[in-house]
Amino acid sequence: MTATPSQPYTPDTSSKPVMPDEDVRRCGSVRPHPRPGDPPGRRQGGRDRRHSPLRDAVTLALLPLPLLALVLPAAFAGGGTRRWFGGRGESVRADAQAAKDAAAAAFYELDTAQRDLRISIETIVAVDSTPAAQRAVSDFDAIGRRIDEASRQYISAVDAHDLDRDDLDTSVAARARTELTEAKGELDKAKQDLDRFQQGLGPLLDKAETQLARLAPAVERARQTLLAASNALDAVRGAGLKADDLAARLAALGPELTKLNQGAGQHGVPETLQRADRVLRDAEAVRAEAERLPERAAEIDRRLVSLRTRAQALTTRSGQVDPVLSELRRRFTAACWQDLQRVPDQAAENVRQAETKLKEAKQAREEQRWPDATSLLSTVRALLNSTDEAVSAAGDRLQRLNAVAKDPQHEIERTRFAIRDAQRLAMAGRQTPEQRHARPLDESVARLDRAVASLEGRHPDYWHFLTETEAVRQTVSRVVTQIREERGQGA
């Protein structure tokens, strides 16, 4: 069923027609084509183009849903409304945020590097006290002040701008981006300075790390050596031997061990290393002596027996000196035996002193005063050696005098052979010998001739003759040695 108008339709330009177009115009999205004759700026029907907000809202509510979906984007994108996504403002904000993130990364990297380098500086300071190490510390402090300045600039730039604000202005974002970029540049420069300083720190750090690597093993070795010395001392005491001197030396190392246990943090790395080496050396000496102590005691016992036997033998031999001296006095001049007059008395005195020292050494052995026993036995040995030489000298004197008195020619030929051998060596490869070689050899020939001449007469001094020929052979031997050394250096 359709509706029909009550009156026929008559067009009238003065009246407002009710048309479907009017309803569409009220929504503000679709406009009818203007009719001929309408004045500019006016809609068809002569109504004003302005809308009230209330009427726009009501009109939108009355629109069908598909049409409303088409109208909404256009309404929000209308003139004068700020764009929520995209556009120049959001681009500047994103750049500022990127600059902030880059500066934060540079700040974190610089802070990490500074912390690591500070550990290296502390390592050097703990080990090294040289001027180079002190200079490294002052340089690090200067770089630290430079880093603090760059960090303050970065923190100030971050605190001055809140990039998360919804109403952030474009100019503020641009200024934030500039300041953050500058702050990052300063952080990068500080990082470069820090890297260069770290490269130059290499030798000092290597030296410090080497000493630190030595520290723990050195301290542990010292402790283990002290323990070994203590165990060796206990074993010696368990065998019935006293070692009071070793125990005192080991006890003196107790305070040093306490300082080692306190660590290098309190006493310093170099001092701790030196202390560990000293404790190791002293404790090792105590351990070695403790382990040798049973053998040392046995050796002292053997020496006591041996020296006592030797003293008894020398007592017997010294009694034979008087007959030797008597024969020397009877057959030879006084010059041949006069220096041996005191041999019997001196030998007896030396043997008496040696026996006294042997008794003292035996007592020291029983009391286990090992250093005293060793020293006394050394004194006994020296006394017996001196006595043995004196007693032997009397018998040797008589033997040599008998030989030269029987045939002095053997001693003469022996000395002349030595002189001729030296003269041939001095002339080898030369027309004339060096004066420093020829002169002592010529003097030796003359000296031998005088010694041979002294044998003439009724009572020749054979001992003087023997001493002169011995002196000539010693002079010739020195010349030969000199010639060979000079030619060896020239070759």
Q: H/E/C letters for each residue in 260-329?
A: HHHCHHHHCHHHHHHHHHHHHHHHHHHHHHHHHHHHHHHHHHHHHHHHHHHHHHHHHHHCCHHHHHHHHH
Position 241 scores a pLDDT of 86
Closest CA to 278 of 231, 225, 207: 225
- Report d(CA 358, CA 380) in Å as an integer: 7
Residue type at position 230 = S
Write down the H helix ranges in 164-201: 170-200
pLDDT value of position 226: 92
Which pLDDT does position 210 carry in this prediction?
A: 77
Q: What per-residue confidence (pLDDT) applies to 231? A: 93
Average pLDDT value over all residues in the chain: 79
Handedness of CA 175, 176, 177, 180 (dihedral sign): positive
What is the token pair recorded at 339?
């220096």
What are the C-alpha distances in Å from 395 to residues 266, 391, 459, 465, 483? 72, 7, 21, 18, 37
Distance between CA atoms of 339 and 331, rounded to whole angstroms?
16
Residue 136 has a pLDDT of 86
Q: Do the beta carbons of residue 387 and residue 351 sit within 8 Å?
A: yes
Predicted pLDDT at 19 = 39
C-alpha closest to that of 287 among 228, 237, 218: 228
Residue 153: partners with Cβ closer than 8 Å, 6 or more residues away:
182, 183, 186
- Name the nearest CA neighbour of 190 among 157, 153, 135: 153
pTM given for the model = 0.48
CA distances from 309 to 317, 354, 366 (A): 13, 11, 19
Low-confidence ranges of the chain (pLDDT < 70): 1-89, 265, 490-491
- Exposure letters 8-25 (e unless 16+ CB within 10 A, then b): eeeeeeeeeeeeebeebb
In sequence order, what are the residues at sequence separation of 6 or more whose Cβ sits closer than 8 angstroms to the Cβ of residue 335?
461, 463, 464
On whether the CB atoms of residues 350 and 383 are closer than 8 A, the answer is yes
Helix (H, G, I), strand (E, B) or coil at 236: helix
Question: What's the confidence (pLDDT) of residue 89?
Answer: 63
- Total residues belonging to the chain: 491
